[in-house]
Amino acid sequence: MNFLRGVMGGQSAGPQHTEAETIQKLCDRVASSTLLDDRRNAVRALKSLSKKYRLEVGIQAMEHLIHVLQTDRSDSEIIGYALDTLYNIISNDEEEEVDDVEDENSTRQSEDLGSQFTEIFIKQQENVTLLLSLLEEFDFHVRWPGVKLLTSLLKQLGPQVQQIILVSPMGVSRLMDLLADSREVIRNDGVLLLQALTRSNGAIQKIVAFENAFERLLDIITEEGNSDGGIVVEDCLILLQNLLKNNNSNQNFFKEGSYIQRMKPWFEVGDENSGWSAQKVTNLHLMLQLVRVLVSPTNPPGATSSCQKAMFQCGLLQQLCTILMATGVPADILTETINTVSEVIRGCQVNQDYFASVNAPSNPPRPAIVVLLMSMVNERQPFVLRCAVLYCFQCFLYKNQKGQGEIVSTLLPSTIDATGNSVSAGQLLCGGLFSTDSLSNWCAAVALAHALQENATQKEQLLRVQLATSISNPPVSLLQQCTNILSQGDKIDRRGSKIQTRIGLLMLLCTWLSNCPIAVTHFLHNSSNVPFLTGQIAENLGEEEQLVQGLCALLLGISIYFNDNSLENYMKEKLKQLIEKRIGKENFIEKLGFISKHELYSRASQKPQPNFPSSEYMIFDHEFTKLVKELEGVITKAIYKSSEEDKKEEEVKKTLEQHDNIVTHYKNVIREQDVQLEELKQQISTLKCQNEQLQTAVTQQASQIQQHKDQYNLLKVQLGKDNQHQGSHSDGAQMNGIQPEEMGRLREEIEELKSNQELLQSQLAEKDSLIENLKSSQTSPGTNEATASTRDSEQIAELKQELATLTSQLISQSVEITKLQTEKQELLQKTEAFAKSVPVPGESETVIAAKTTDVEGRLAALLQETKELKNEIKALSEERTAIKEQLDSSNSTIAILQNERNKLEVDITDSKKEQDDLLVLLADQDQKILSLKNKLKELGHPIEEEDELESVDQDDEDEEDDDDGKDQDHI
């Protein structure tokens, strides 16, 4: 308030004095009038004065306006006027034309006024809660000014207002309802309000996202026409960025909700003649940035990877590549699209493979990578576009050994197109590496270094590359050509930075030689390389050349650290001595430290994307800064190490290699054991299957036996019914006389009885064979078990005898040991007594010593023998327990088999009884048949001889059956 009084004091008196009185009267009317119309008119008058006399109205009327909001909620008109007045007081928006003479102090003063009034308003948190409750009113005259007022509060003091809204019940949910308002002006201002609300507040961002904000915003963007929409689409995209940027929870929710798929229609830009308005360019720029937010390298790797896969699966990456290869696309959109595609494919093998297969719509079609590289090495292209292409190439090769191999293979002699019809990626890189444009040299060197990143195979492959510099001279290797250009320095006239070419080549060589002793040997094989490096490091040059000196020191240090001592003239120790003589170790380390102390080094180490204001700042690559950080300390230690320490380190390496060999050996042993275990598991599974099959076979046989029993019982019942039926027919014949039809019926019955008899006989034969099989299967396991049990008993008896003899030997040995121990004690006592009494001559000492050693030797031998006997007893006891377990298991199996045998015997006796019953039935049946035939003879019916023969045969068979039954009974 002191500040406000000071501002008022600074204003001139005069006409404004009357306005202050008017404002005071209006405030009194608002406070004291009982009629609503009077209060409404007073608030309307304050609203009209609030823009021009913002300070006076704010000081005198704010308290009264807040009271109106609390008490007059039933009248929407007065509430609307009050909200508009508060908005005019708090907001810093200058709608009226400002005079050019007005200085910056007035604008700053105006901003201070807004923040001061905002602070007064939110000092009572109930005011913000009241404002939130007013937003629930559907009336346009209340809701719209309320939205504007809350937005202005958030713009003035965002963090404080955010905290009040966060703790108020349902505060964020009330604001989310604005997006569903059917009136576009409220919906659009609601988007602006949510923009201010979600800025830099992760908790509110999460609440807004879980209140279905993504669905509503994407619906609005679709309704407005996607990228062809107006400023509303821009506002929605900015709000989406607020919700997703640096918020892993919301990013995951966006991906899980399948909202990435709904982004694909944004990039359907249509034909090239449709035109690109400024709003469309802005919208597409924001859409591309939103895609980059989801796949940013700063996100957690798992979240980025899942979003990259989702973008490939829904076709979003394909749509972006279409824009990339389209014609008529504005330069800034094309640049941002390249950057977006870069981050969508970075580190994702599936997306990288797809990008490698994309072709430009040219005749003949060329790969997209080749077309992009042509732009990168073309000095006429914009600098920002060339940086974007380099970033795209780096992302394509990031953790992509397959892509690295494809790029390097285009440089190898076997794969170069001899016809020259098509240019390859490798040829473009070489062309850029040796062009007269320093920026092209730097970009090509960094791109080629990324083709070698963490890939020892490609570093060795690149050593095979040969270049034809001129027709007369023989071809030289790529490594040699790089060192030749490096040594020439400023002799070649180049466009651009003087040191950019050398720094690019030095970064390429450092990346190439690190972790590759073969490349180090090739580099040192050229006798002019080491003198050139030492000469560069030893010179005292200006600040511009310090970076080159530092990189030369790094390259020389790499040549020492990764040296395998295969060249006698350039062994590790000799190179260290050379540094100490020509440069000095301290000076060398100081020059090496120039790299990491440089300002551009720290700038490049922050983000993977090469983002520079101009080409002069393009010095370091992000991946190279990681390499420097990794090698700087290692090289420093290697320089200060002595030859003895080097030898010790090599010995340690050898021991580590031996240890690794032992570990690999044991790993192989474990693998073999795993294979054996798998085989044993398979055998167990097969045995289990066989066991199950046998069990099923046993159950099937049991069911078959039960079926035979059931059939047998049915036959018995049928025979009983036939006998009753036959008896009734015979009674009828005797009573009523014999008719020819009855005679035919009797013959049919005789035939049926014969067939039944044959069937019964066949079943009896099957039963007999089954019983025999059961008997044989019963007798064979019994004999095996008996023999097994006799063997086990014999083995146990033998083991018991051996155990008894061993125990007796042990007892005798222990007795002898105790005797020897007592003798030893006596001898020791005697020798001690003798030594105390008389000085012992040399001979007696030797004799006693010989005796004691003899006794000790015998005692040690006996102790060793006792130990061996104990081990044998332990082994025998283990064998005994194992044999006991086997015996117990065999006894249990014998008991089980005995039970089965008893069951089979019971089954045999039952089947014998059933067989006897069947024989009796058959005999009765034959008797009845004979009686029937006799009756037929008596009645005068002729009986054929076959029937008589059959009856005779039947009698013979019955006699044989009786004989068999007697034999069985005898057995």
- The amino acid present at 744, given as its one-letter code, is G
pLDDT class of 843 with cuts at 50, 70, 90 = very low
Whether the per-residue pLDDT at 774 is higher than 70: the answer is no
- Residue 323 pLDDT grade (very low, low, confident, very high; cuts 50, 70, 90): very high
- Has residue 947 got a pLDDT over 50? no
Sort 134 into a burial class: Cβ within 10 Å, 0-12 / 13-18 / 19+.
buried
Strands (E), 177-324: none
Pair of tokens at residue 542: 């200006």
Considering the chain, what is the average pLDDT of its residues? Answer: 81
- The candidate with the shortest Cα–Cα distance to 304, out of 260, 361, 270, 272, is 260
What gap in Å lies between CA 518 and CA 357, rounded to an integer?
Answer: 33
The answer to whether the beta carbons of residues 307 and 251 sit under 8 Å apart is yes
Say what the pLDDT of residue 4 is.
35
Please give the pLDDT value at position 298.
Answer: 92
Residues 97-128 pLDDT 10s: 444 445 455 566 666 788 899 999 999 999 99
Going by C-alpha positions, the residue among 817, 920, 820, 831 that lies closest to residue 870 is 817
Q: Which residue has the higher pLDDT, 968 or 307?
A: 307
Q: Which helix (H) or strand (E) holds 436?
A: none
Q: Is the pLDDT of residue 961 over 60?
A: no
Percent of the chain whose predicted confidence (pLDDT) is above 70: 77
Beta-bridged to residue 477, according to DSSP, are: 466
Q: Which residue has the higher pLDDT, 3 or 282?
A: 282
- pLDDT tens digits for 153-192? 999 999 999 999 999 888 898 899 999 999 999 999 999 9
For 558, half-sphere exposure in the C-beta direction (CA atoms, 13 angstrom radius) is 29
State residue 10's pLDDT score. Answer: 36
Average pLDDT over residues 571-583: 90
- Letter for the amino acid at 397? L
Question: How confident is the model at residue 824, as a pLDDT?
Answer: 63
- Only one residue has tokens 């007035």, namely 106
Closest-CA residue to 265 (of 231, 230, 228): 228
The mean pLDDT of 355-363, rounded to a whole number, is 89
pLDDT at 296 over 60: yes
* DSSP state for residue 1 in the 8-state scheme: -
268's torsion region: left (phi>0), alpha (psi -120 to 50) or beta? Answer: beta
Spell 860-895 as b/e; 16+ CB within 10 A means b.
Answer: eebeeebeebeeebeeeeeebeeeeeebeeeeeebe
- What burial letters (b/e) apply to 791-802, b meaning 16+ CB within 10 Å? ebeeeeeebeee
Cα Rg of the chain, angstroms: 53
Enter the DSSP assignment of 609.
S
The pLDDT value recorded for residue 348 is: 95
Residue 741 confidence (pLDDT): 58
Task: Note the pLDDT of residue 676.
Answer: 87
Looking at per-residue confidence, does 274 or 385 come out higher?
385
Q: Is 466 helix (H, G, I), strand (E, B) or coil?
A: strand
Phi/psi class of residue 199: alpha, beta or left (left: φ > 0; alpha: ψ in -120 to 50)?
beta
**pLDDT over 80 at 953, yes or no:** no
The pLDDT, as a whole number, for residue 337 is 96
Q: How far is CA 163 from the centre of its chain?
A: 38
Q: Worst-scoring range by mean pLDDT, 263-267, 711-715, 730-734, 850-854?
A: 730-734
The residue with greater pLDDT, 245 or 955, is 245
Tell me the per-residue pLDDT of 246-293, one tens digit each, with 9 for 90 and over.
Answer: 999 999 999 999 999 999 999 987 655 467 889 999 999 999 999 999
How far is residue 554's CA from residue 551's CA, in Å, rounded to a whole number? 5
Separation of alpha carbons 955 and 926, rounded Å: 8
Q: What's the mean pLDDT in 683-703?
A: 85
Q: List the single range of 178-187, 340-349, 865-874 with lowest mean pLDDT.
A: 865-874
Would you say residue 14 has pLDDT above 90?
no
What is the full DSSP assignment across 469-528? --SSSPPEEHHHHHHHHHHHGGGS--BS-SSHHHHHHHHHHHHHHTT-HHHHHHHHHSTT
The values of phi and psi at residue 619, to 5°, are: -115, -50
Kindly indicate the confidence band of residue 12, based on its pLDDT and cuts at 50, 70 and 90: very low
Higher pLDDT, 585 or 811: 585
- pLDDT, position 43: 94
Q: What does the alpha-carbon distance between residue 772 and residue 838 come to, in Å, rounded to a whole number?
A: 99
